[in-house]
Homo-oligomer: A and B are copies of this chain.
């Protein structure tokens, strides 16, 4: 029996709402996962994650393996207990991070041998190691170990890499020991070649994974190419399984991908941008460093009900930011996460109203992406 089940509750074209059941509770979809790479969403406590409306978080198997160690976390009661988050957790395999260490890694059929920048140690990350880590962590959803290739890459290189990803996926499946506790998600690769995307989707759907991710995107390509690859892939994914678009994105990317059939997202943008003073609002983007906010008595977003907007002016948040007061980054992060969860709630409310309502929401969200005019 699978550790996951998805009940579809409404549809509008390819878009759908649903309830994902996991070993640690339910996730209403479409959903956004805040990123807690090292076992903490930067600056945000678990109770604040709940308060902003997050029902699931993402962490990173590779990073936790290197430090503090997956076996240590297992001995301490698992990742949920470790980070005091009792809701569902998905871990990225860390393949992407290892491939990014371009000067320090060697890829073979066995896996990736690399030298950790953290401790200088040589390690081998393979499909088997990757599943072992994620099962030790005890997460609800594990990502398969896949090969990540650069954008752009040739058709031939992409095909070779995608075939290896399939072989590695089969090894991931064979390595599982706790399928009832930790679901396994297969990742559709195929680069930016439609036929390879379709072919790969069909191949791995045949393997009957718990859910499917669309990977290898959001690597620097224009938005149209990203969306084209999503659009060509989702029709080949099973209707009753979760669809995850990895590493995406901005609010307008998310709604476009929902329209193309995606259920769940993760991205560092709301948290990382907040730490750099870039704030999302329903009226446009704010750069809090800007001198125009020095005397601004308004909250970041007057229609937002987050703790930050309920208590602090733009003038104060700017003061904290330019004074390097960590409460600033923290309160800005809280707001951005709240706004992302607000976006997902709007999407979930709108899908049952049909395609036209969803298109109107998409036009609204495009306006969120403009610089704030007042």
Contacts and interface: CB of A to CB of B under 8 A. Distances in A.
Interface of A: 38-47, 67-68, 72, 75-77, 82-84, 294-295, 297, 307, 311-313, 315-316, 318-320, 322-323, 325-331
Q: Which of A40, A313, A325 has the most chain B CB within a 10 Å cutoff?
A: A40
A286 B239 CA distance: 53
A323 B295 CA distance: 36
B312 A42 contact: no
Contacts of A315: 68, 72, 76, 82
Contacts of A67: 319, 322-323
A67 to B, nearest CB: 7
Tallying the copies of this chain within the complex gives 2
B76 A295 contact: yes
Given A68-B294, A72-B294, A72-B295, A82 B316 contact: yes
A326 B329 contact: yes
A328 B83 CA distance: 11
A76 B322 CA distance: 17
Contact of A68 (B82, B319, B328): B319
Contacts of A318: 68
Contact of A83 (B40, B295, B297, B316): B316
Contact of A82 (B44, B313, B322, B330): B313
B313 A45 contact: no
Nearest to A39: B319
Interchain residue pairs A-B with the least CB separation, the first 5: A84-B311, A40-B327, A43-B326, A68-B319, A40-B325
A311 B39 contact: no
A311 B82 contact: no
Contacts of A46: 311
26 contacts: A39-B320, A39-B325, A40-B328, A41-B327, A42-B326, A42-B327, A44-B327, A45-B307, A45-B311, A45-B331, A46-B311, A47-B307, A67-B322, A67-B323, A68-B319, A72-B294, A72-B295, A75-B295, A76-B313, A82-B313, A83-B316, A84-B312, A84-B316, A326-B326, A326-B329, A330-B330
A6 B373 CA distance: 50
Contacts of A297: 76-77
Nearest to A43: B326
A252 to B, nearest CB: 29
Contacts of A322: 67
A327 B43 contact: yes
Nearest to A329: B326
Nearest to A68: B319
Contacts of A45: 307, 311, 327, 330-331
Nearest to A41: B327
A279 B160 CA distance: 54
Contacts of A331: 45
A39 B39 CA distance: 30
A326 to B, nearest CB: 5
Contacts of A328: 40
Contacts of A40: 320, 325, 327-328
A272 to B, nearest CB: 13
Contacts of A294: 68, 72
Given A67-B319, A67-B322, A77-B297, 19 more contacts: A38-B319, A38-B320, A38-B323, A39-B320, A40-B320, A42-B326, A42-B327, A43-B326, A44-B327, A45-B311, A45-B327, A45-B330, A45-B331, A68-B318, A72-B315, A76-B295, A82-B315, A83-B316, A326-B330
